[in-house]
């Protein structure tokens, strides 16, 4: 059975609605976004030609605060995918108990085929087309797939130029030099490991010396591997889009990153065996961290997973059937909407710093991140224990329930 991001997101909402005995009208409201904006982005390329790219921004629900969500540059992006991701962001913010609603945006573009100057023009044009729907109290973008701190600096500058004064709080994930927060880049990966630490206590898993495999060695995967190594775990396997590497006695994530930056791949790292991404998923380890693409753990390989714990650093790496299979096998799965909410939590910290014109030291950011992630995990775990369910069901019930309760309290205008 083929799963789309939207079909999975709606199925998860249905599950939460059923468990919560949600009012049918509120269920219907939450099943579709409040606003979807589609734009055509025309720019002049470096060679003088004009090209046009499709852009989108979807705003799901903002009853708990302004919309919040990343902007991705990806050639295969679809409106349904962005709708699904905006919905997941709504639940993610509610689970982390931060005052945001979910949004997501993107441009259908292969960023690797454009120059830096062309990407800047795309970004500025895109922002100018949706600027009326953005703002520090309306919708605050952030980096996502194939966008970064530089992209967010362009977003901030474009918004500020159009408003006539500097507005650093209009976007998060910026460079530190222009109002970005310490610790924002590594927050998603570090947040995953904070959840792993909490879950390990519940399944009596000693993390010192525990073997960890990380699929995906981008920003999130690298920082998750690094944070795992810092607490004494043994990172035995990592991979990127070209394939992976395995070493039974452990890898140094920083050295692997240096190798990847020089060669373009993690493969070929010294004293390692090259493996495929599929082999990494099935590697013998205590903790498996899928930090790459969706639908990596499916009904065809769920029975081959050897890990005691799966921590979803990526969005949607496990299909619903595989989810059930892992649960039946007694494998602890930390769902994406809990495991990877460290990024939006750190974005919230950046927004608060910008609004108050403060700048927090890294130690404070990391301490507050651990506090937030620990509390989120405890809330989800407590609800899943009460419901005798897996963590994903508990997380969905918590996130959807908090948003539904906000709608009930506010009412419907007019």
CATH code of the domain in which 309 resides:
3.40.50.720
Asked if 356 and 190 count as a contact pair (C-beta separation under 8 A), the reply is no
**Active-site entry in 104, 234, 260, 372:** 104
Instruction: For residue 154, tell me if it sits in a domain.
Output: yes
* 342-356 and 362-387 helices, crossing angle to 10°: 130
Full-prediction pTM beyond 0.85? yes
Instruction: For residue 306, tell me if it sits in a domain.
Output: yes
Point out the domain boundary residue: 270, 301, 330.
330
The vertex-290 CA angle with 94 and 389, nearest 5°, equals 50
Whichever domain contains 72, its CATH number is 3.40.50.10860
* Pairing verdict, β 67-73 and 211-215: unpaired
Annotation marks residue 116 as catalytic: no
One domain for residues 191 and 244: yes
One domain for residues 326 and 192: yes
Instruction: For residue 357, tell me if it sits in a domain.
Output: no
One domain for residues 151 and 195: no
Percentage of the residues of the chain whose pLDDT score is greater than 70: 100
Instruction: For residue 37, tell me if it sits in a domain.
Output: yes
Instruction: For residue 118, tell me if it sits in a domain.
Output: yes
Find tokens 């790292």 and name the residue.
Answer: 269
| pLDDT for residue 294 | 87
Instruction: For residue 59, tell me if it sits in a domain.
Output: yes
For 271, half-sphere exposure in the C-beta direction (CA atoms, 13 angstrom radius) is: 9
Query: When comparing pLDDT for 251 and 1, which is higher?
Result: 251
One domain for residues 92 and 135: yes
Instruction: For residue 142, tell me if it sits in a domain.
Output: yes
Asked if 69 and 103 count as a contact pair (C-beta separation under 8 A), the reply is yes
Point out the domain boundary residue: 288, 306, 330.
330
One domain for residues 116 and 162: yes
Point out the domain boundary residue: 142, 169, 196.
169
| Number of separate domains in the chain | 2
CA separation for the pair 376, 224 (Å, rounded): 18
Asked if 256 and 245 count as a contact pair (C-beta separation under 8 A), the reply is yes
One domain for residues 314 and 200: yes
Mean pLDDT of the region 369-396: 97
Instruction: For residue 362, tell me if it sits in a domain.
Output: no
One domain for residues 164 and 219: no
CB atoms within 10 A of CB 241: 12
Q: What's the mean pLDDT when you consider all of the chain? A: 96
pLDDT in tens, 338-380: 999 999 999 999 999 999 999 999 999 999 999 999 999 999 9
Asked if 86 and 60 count as a contact pair (C-beta separation under 8 A), the reply is yes
One domain for residues 305 and 206: yes
Indicate if the pLDDT at residue 2 is higher than 80: no
Mean pLDDT of the region 200-219: 96
pLDDT in tens, 19-63: 999 999 999 999 999 999 999 999 999 999 999 999 999 999 999
pLDDT in tens, 18-28: 999 999 999 99
Contacts of 189 (CB under 8 A, 6+ apart): 219, 220, 221, 222, 223, 224, 225, 226, 227, 291, 313, 342
CA separation for the pair 397, 402 (Å, rounded): 8
pLDDT in tens, 80-131: 999 999 999 999 999 999 999 999 999 999 999 999 999 999 999 999 999 9
| pLDDT for residue 3 | 81
Mean pLDDT of the region 188-197: 98
For 334, phi then psi, to 5°, come to: -95, 110
Indicate if the pLDDT at residue 402 is higher than 80: yes
One domain for residues 156 and 207: no
pLDDT band at 1 (very low <50, low <70, confident <90, very high): low
One domain for residues 146 and 49: yes
Domain enclosing residue 274, as ranges: 187-330
Distance set, CA 259 to CA 221, 226, 231, 267, 287 (Å)? 15, 15, 23, 9, 24
pLDDT in tens, 177-192: 999 999 999 999 999 9
Percentage of the residues of the chain whose pLDDT score is greater than 90: 97
One domain for residues 74 and 157: yes
One domain for residues 200 and 98: no
């Amino acid at each position: 059975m083929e799963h789309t991001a939207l079909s999975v997101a709606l199925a998860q909402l249905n599950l939460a609605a059923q468990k919560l005995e949600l009012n049918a009208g509120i269920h219907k409201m939450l099943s579709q976004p409040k606003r979807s904006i589609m734009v055509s982005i025309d720019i002049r390329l470096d060679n003088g030609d004009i090209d046009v790219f499709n852009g989108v921004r979807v705003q799901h629900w903002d009853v708990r605060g302004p919309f919040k969500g990343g902007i991705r540059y990806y050639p295969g992006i679809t409106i349904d995918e962005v709708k699904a991701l905006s919905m997941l962001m709504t639940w993610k913010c509610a689970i982390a108990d931060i005052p945001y609603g979910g949004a997501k945006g993107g441009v259908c573009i292969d960023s690797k085929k454009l120059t830096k100057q062309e990407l800047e023009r795309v970004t500025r044009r895109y922002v100018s087309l949706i600027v009326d729907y953005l703002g520090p109290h309306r919708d605050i973008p952030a980096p996502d797939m194939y966008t970064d701190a530089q992209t967010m600096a362009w977003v901030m500058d474009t918004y500020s130029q159009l408003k006539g004064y500097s507005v650093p709080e209009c976007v998060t994930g910026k460079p530190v030099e222009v109002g970005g927060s310490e610790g924002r880049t590594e927050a998603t990966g570090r947040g995953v490991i904070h959840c792993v630490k909490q879950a390990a206590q519940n399944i009596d898993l000693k993390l010192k010396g525990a073997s960890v495999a990380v699929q995906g060695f981008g920003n999130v995967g690298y920082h998750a591997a690094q944070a795992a190594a810092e607490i004494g775990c043994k990172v035995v396997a990592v991979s990127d889009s070209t394939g992976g590497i395995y070493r039974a006695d452990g890898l140094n994530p920083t050295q692997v990153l240096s190798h990847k930056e020089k060669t373009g791949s993690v493969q070929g790292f010294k004293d390692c065996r090259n493996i495929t991404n599929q082999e990494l998923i099935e590697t013998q380890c205590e903790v498996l961290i899928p930090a790459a693409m969706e639908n990596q753990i499916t009904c065809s390989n769920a029975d081959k997973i050897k890990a005691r714990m799966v921590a979803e650093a990526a969005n949607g790496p496990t299909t619903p059937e595989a989810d059930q299979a892992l649960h039946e096998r007694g494998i602890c799965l930390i769902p994406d909407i809990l495991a990877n909410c460290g990024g939006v939590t750190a974005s919230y910290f950046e927004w608060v710093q910008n609004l108050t014109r403060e700048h927090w030291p890294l130690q404070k950011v990391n301490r507050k991140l651990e506090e937030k992630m620990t509390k989120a995990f405890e809330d989800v775990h407590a609800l899943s224990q009460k419901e005798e369910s897996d963590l994903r069901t508990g997380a969905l019930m918590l996130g959807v329930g908090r948003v539904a309760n906000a709608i009930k309290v506010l009412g419907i205008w007019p």
